[in-house]
């Protein structure tokens, strides 16, 4: 792909001003924050289910203005540092998607499923701070959301191509955009100064075997994405499971069979969140 066009598209993507979210989500969070007896934990839990609000909160707390960029990788820590005033400000200034499609809702559900799967896999592998894996899982498709907002015609074209030629979403992105949402994630994470482990979970989840700094993070999100698609909890834009990298198991020191126990837990967690309203 022409470097110029790529640079232009990168600029357009990074210029995103106001990421909107789903009306149902914003509604619930707004109500919670308006109630004086709401606790930080409750607000954190709800925000952690929404990729856009989580991204906004993490972007703000990691902004150089606060003085510690790249250090905060959990929504609850972000809330402890931003405070109710700032959080309310973010929520009040967040808009909603004017045109809501089934695909959007599907994408939101898929991001929550991947978040749950990520923390489940992380815990099963004995990794520290499973909540951070959850965040990376939640944000692993954020690039798709930003592309929807900043390059809407291309987004529509990608969806059509997926249908017509039965391509994976990633393959269609590469054909029409010249790069995939994992690359968009890398740009966003760098631009927003997200912690490096979250960044690697976001931009290496399709190829964890190439992750340099945080291979466990990439491997966890990789497997989580696979599991979310296997259960078809929501939709990542196509109904395929991705190729499962054997490396991912080596990195995490588990065997494929270990996924069964993980799925036992995951199945229950999926039931628990099945009444989350996204539409």
| Nearer Cβ to other proteins (3/275) | 275
Determine the 3-state secondary structure of 20 from DSSP.
coil
| Nearer Cβ to other proteins (152/256) | 256
For the CB of residue 212, give the shortest distance to other proteins in the complex, in Å.
14
For the CB of residue 64, give the shortest distance to other proteins in the complex, in Å.
10
* Helix ranges (DSSP H) in 125-257: 130-139, 142-150, 152-165, 169-176, 181-191, 196-203, 215-230, 246-252
Cβ proximity of 147 and 155 under 8 Å = yes
For the CB of residue 230, give the shortest distance to other proteins in the complex, in Å.
7
| Nearer Cβ to other proteins (2/64) | 64
| Nearer Cβ to other proteins (146/214) | 214
Determine the 3-state secondary structure of 96 from DSSP.
strand
| Nearer Cβ to other proteins (96/241) | 241
Q: What gap in Å lies between CA 142 and CA 155, rounded to an integer?
A: 13
* CA-to-CA separations, 146 to 23, 180, 192, 258, in angstroms, rounded: 17, 12, 13, 35
| Nearer Cβ to other proteins (95/243) | 243
61-272-128-66 Cα dihedral, nearest 10 degrees: 0
| Nearer Cβ to other proteins (139/146) | 139
Kindly list the residues in this chain that would bind other proteins in the complex (CB under 8 A). 36, 40, 66-68, 71-73, 77, 80-85, 128, 168, 229-233, 239-241, 243-244, 246, 256-257, 259-260, 263, 266-268, 270-271, 274-275
For the CB of residue 217, give the shortest distance to other proteins in the complex, in Å.
12
Cβ proximity of 183 and 41 under 8 Å = no
End-to-end CA separation in angstroms for the chain? 37
Residues 6+ apart with CB under 8 A from 47: 29, 53, 54, 57, 75, 79, 87
For the CB of residue 241, give the shortest distance to other proteins in the complex, in Å.
5
For the CB of residue 128, give the shortest distance to other proteins in the complex, in Å.
7
Cβ proximity of 103 and 29 under 8 Å = no
For the CB of residue 202, give the shortest distance to other proteins in the complex, in Å.
18
Cβ proximity of 78 and 43 under 8 Å = no
């Amino acid at each position: 792909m022409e470097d110029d066009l790529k640079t232009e598209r990168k600029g357009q993507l990074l210029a995103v001003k106001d990421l909107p979210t789903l009306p149902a989500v914003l509604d619930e969070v707004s109500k919670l924050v308006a109630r004086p007896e709401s606790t930080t934990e409750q607000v954190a839990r709800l925000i952690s289910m929404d990729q856009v609000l989580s991204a906004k909160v993490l972007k703000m707390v990691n902004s150089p203005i606060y003085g510690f960029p790249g250090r905060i990788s959990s929504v609850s820590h972000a809330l402890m540092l931003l405070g109710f005033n700032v959080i309310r400000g973010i929520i009040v200034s967040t808009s909603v998607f004017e045109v809501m499609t089934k695909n959007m809702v599907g994408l939101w559900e898929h991001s929550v499923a991947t978040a749950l799967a990520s923390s489940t896999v992380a815990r099963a592998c004995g990794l520290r701070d499973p909540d951070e894996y959850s965040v990376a899982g939640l944000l692993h498709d954020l690039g798709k959301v930003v592309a929807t907002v900043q390059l809407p015609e291309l987004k529509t074209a990608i969806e059509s191509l997926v249908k017509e030629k039965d391509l994976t979403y990633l393959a269609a992105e590469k054909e029409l955009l010249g790069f995939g949402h994992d690359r968009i994630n890398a740009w966003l994470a760098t631009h927003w100064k997200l912690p490096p482990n979250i960044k690697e979970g976001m931009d290496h989840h399709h190829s964890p075997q190439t992750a340099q700094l945080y291979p466990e993070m990439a491997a966890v999100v990789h497997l989580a994405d696979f599991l979310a698609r296997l259960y078809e909890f929501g939709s990542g834009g196509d109904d395929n499971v991705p190729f499962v990298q054997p490396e991912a198991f080596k990195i995490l020191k588990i065997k494929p069979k270990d996924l069964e126990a993980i799925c036992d837990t995951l199945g229950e967690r999926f039931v628990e969140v099945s009444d989350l309203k996204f539409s």
